[in-house]
Amino acid sequence: MRGPERSAALSRVTTVRPIASLAELARVESVIAAQFRPRRGTPSHGSQVLRRRFAEDRSLMLVAQRDGEIVGGALAFRADGAVKIEVIALAPEARRSGIGRELIERIEGEAMRFGAQQLYLGGATAENRGFYWRLGFSGRRSLMQKAIPRHRRTWLGDRGENARPAASEEPRQPP
């Protein structure tokens, strides 16, 4: 993108927020599915799992909108002390604009709030692995993971992003 195209793209209003309803989840899944080539074989049951877990993990299921239009999203859920990112996808016109980073950072923030020890995802490809590496994930094949530092989990706990540590959590000063 150059000149006027870049200025127009930057002036557009983009929001990332939790998905509001099961109907909106279906719309986000449709936009996400359109970003992938059709699969052969057995269909994934991930959609059914996400619907069942919607009430519990809604804050990990995000929609990205640009000027009110859904341009992608990220769908994740809690799994055994970790957060699994089921899928993240953006329409081509929304890529390389920071929205993907914002989606991952929002999921990571929620994972910290829940006390998760790591984020992980399957299905990374040669095309998108660099994106995940830049965000601190490790992995060489389709499985990518990122440890959530313990001090960040302890500091934030369930008290929110702007919470200060309790007196017992204050770093000790050397004598």
In the predicted model, is pLDDT for residue 77 greater than 50? yes
Spatial CB neighbours of 67, under 8 Å, sequence gap ≥ 6:
12, 13
In the predicted model, is pLDDT for residue 63 greater than 90? yes
**Residue 168 carries which DSSP code?**
G
**What mean pLDDT value characterizes the chain?**
81
Q: How far is CA 120 from CA 25, 51, 52, in A?
A: 21, 20, 20
The more confidently predicted of residues 19 and 6 is 19
Domain ranges of the chain: 12-36+46-163
SS3 at position 42? coil
Fold of the domain spanning 12-36+46-163: Aminopeptidase (3.40.630)
For CA atoms 123, 35, 37, 56, give the dihedral sign: positive
In the predicted model, is pLDDT for residue 8 greater than 60? no
Confidence of residue 64 (pLDDT cuts 50, 70, 90): very high
Region 35-64: mean pLDDT is 79
Residues in the chain, total: 175
In the predicted model, is pLDDT for residue 88 greater than 60? yes
In the predicted model, is pLDDT for residue 71 greater than 70? yes
Spatial CB neighbours of 60, under 8 Å, sequence gap ≥ 6:
74, 75, 76, 77, 78, 83, 107, 110, 111
Confidence of residue 15 (pLDDT cuts 50, 70, 90): very high
